Structure 1
């Protein structure tokens, strides 16, 4: 009898272990065979959200059978069962849904007025109170040398309302490495975590094109979005003769629900070429800038899924010029509209994770929601060994 019990225990243990396995999905364009970045992969059973990296890859722990939903604003969505993930690394091909024949929409209202209405409605629709479990990652490059890195798992408890928005942050785990000893100004190093959510939930990055003067400074265009008849795409571009450093904006929105789905912006090489470099001490001459946020509508919930920011600029110091590049990622891995309890002493009140002592309990970055690319992992490994 003891042998039978032992055998059953062994079978049960093997079954449990076999269910907790790490899996990877690689997403490629079916026509170009190129990796697809910024695709959202949603694991139904664990309610975990993942984002594909620049290699088109995501990694996660599979615990039992689950439905998996893969979406991207430019590709046909697919749904699959986890049972078809036979290999550790599984490749799927997505079909691009953008035909290039999107119809230009003539509106009675000026598109800027439509945008203002979208922003106002989206702010009011975003789910608050809510808890976002977030993975954050940052790379910092100084004069062409990768110099600092940090990442961390955090819980953002958001409460209040759009006019009185508050956030408490609890850090679960984090790590920070640096290989350059030069002093770096704190105003260019890392997210300001104290106001980052407020910026995203108030669509602060759209402010330049919401001002009254923007009607003269930008061209507004609204297009129907191919493949999804519920979506429209608004493109806002600087006027051709601009001498100012202004972004090109793209806003994807649900025209029926009047909710913003994606916001992206970048400064085009043409705009940079038309602007004069500043020479006064303390000036910053930007040579690269891009930004993208993705929001998710799930039943009655509406929340931030991810953000990505990159900026490169030359800072004019008294006796020298310093080139600085910062790359930030922000991914919501789990969402809840419930509050959780915590002590005030547990709340993280610093601006960034750079000065926080490392707290590594697990290899959280392997299944963080955003897998590192091979190039990024090489940078992290170098910094880690030189700590």
Structure 2
């Protein structure tokens, strides 16, 4: 049974390698000619999902002809036929509508109440149970030097309901490189894979602006979204007199379907400038924190398609202060409503892949749904060579 499961999972990550055709595309803004990050590309035939990196690149393998669907909240979506693609290096241009102005939207209810309604409807519409085949990548930086790298192919099976969600993880393949001091190893585990999906599917990161008292600290605003007539954008910005280290929030949502399309947040520069460092041993003085999650509506399906989290802080130890940065990326490469079967010993229960032994069966990272940029690949190679 265990071997059969292994073969099944491996097949999903190496679909039809016979007669394979490799494609690399670069996605750019039609007006600025600059690469576009976080474009979702759907390979219609295989239902594989790709996300463009900072250089606007996506790389994938197709077996036969397949239309490609390009979408991004800030650009007009397009479908490209395979006959128009070169073997490699085809540039795909997307049209933005940045020349339009966002207009203030007057709502009958306070934006915070509107947000709560959006969350409730979005959570209700998520496909549960569901299986997400995810590519996970994480970089760790210590005192300005990249010291550790890990990535892997994971299957998340999400079950439960709105009140109680659970995700079970099976790891297909993974790799880890680098050495980290034992003293800071606990800080490597900042992104817990065993609850990360629950957080994304309950919009836990929006908790600070859902509290009734948030009205005293945040300015809420709803505007039309110039890049897409069907979308609105809701923002929550810390007031000038607010206290504490607060984030700025941006929520893009489909106003017709009342579904959240994108959630992002970052530390407010104003609140960061007012924040004083704490010298107490064990203190974690955060200086950078970014988060972004995108969701996809596809026919009757609604699911997480990608996420990106970055955090940077100074950790105070007994003898010195150390600078730590962690960046984590998730991309849903395939989505299914079907459950998989497994045995309890096969379930991944650790917090992060860092403590799991390497299991490399294919070069899965080259066609993972999120290919490394030139700079990221340089970092990965340096860390790997240190082993």
CA deviations 1:138-180 (Å, max 9, x no partner) are 0000000100100000000111112121111000000001144
Q: Is the 8 Å Cα contact of residues 96 and 227 (structure 2) preserved in structure 1?
A: no
What is the distance in 2 between the residues matched to 1:17 and 1:365? 15
Structure 2 alignment gaps of length 5 or more: 1-15
Deviation at 1:18, TM superposition (A): 8.9
CA deviations 1:202-259 (Å, max 9, x no partner) are 0000000000110110000000112422211001100012331111000001112111
- 1:333 matches 2:338: no
- Aligned match of 2:213: 213
- Aligned match of 2:61: 61
What is the distance in 2 between the residues matched to 1:138 and 1:188? 10
Q: Is the 8 Å Cα contact of residues 123 and 201 (structure 2) preserved in structure 1?
A: yes
Aligned residues: 372
Q: Is the 8 Å Cα contact of residues 138 and 190 (structure 1) preserved in structure 2?
A: no
- Aligned match of 2:8: none
Deviation at 1:183, TM superposition (A): 3.3
- Aligned match of 1:149: 149
Q: How does the TM-score come out when normalised to structure 2?
A: 0.93
Q: Is the 8 Å Cα contact of residues 127 and 301 (structure 1) preserved in structure 2?
A: yes
- Aligned match of 1:290: 290
Q: Is the 8 Å Cα contact of residues 53 and 373 (structure 1) preserved in structure 2?
A: yes
- Aligned match of 1:34: 34
Deviation at 1:74, TM superposition (A): 0.9
1:128-277 map, 5 Å: 128-181=128-181, 183-277=183-277
Higher-Rg structure is 1
Deviation at 1:191, TM superposition (A): 2.3
- 1:112 matches 2:112: yes
- Aligned match of 1:85: 85
Q: Is the 8 Å Cα contact of residues 242 and 274 (structure 1) preserved in structure 2?
A: no
Q: Is the 8 Å Cα contact of residues 189 and 351 (structure 2) preserved in structure 1?
A: no
- Aligned match of 2:10: none
The SS at the match of 2:36 is coil
Q: 1:174 to 1:312 in 2, by over 3 A?
A: same
Q: Is the 8 Å Cα contact of residues 28 and 91 (structure 1) preserved in structure 2?
A: yes
Q: 1:17 to 1:115 in 2, by over 3 A?
A: closer
What is the distance in 2 between the residues matched to 1:17 and 1:83? 20
Deviation at 1:182, TM superposition (A): 5.2
Deviation at 1:339, TM superposition (A): 0.8
- Aligned match of 1:279: 279
Q: Is the 8 Å Cα contact of residues 167 and 197 (structure 1) preserved in structure 2?
A: yes
What is the distance in 1 between the residues matched to 2:114 and 2:219? 14
- Aligned match of 1:12: none
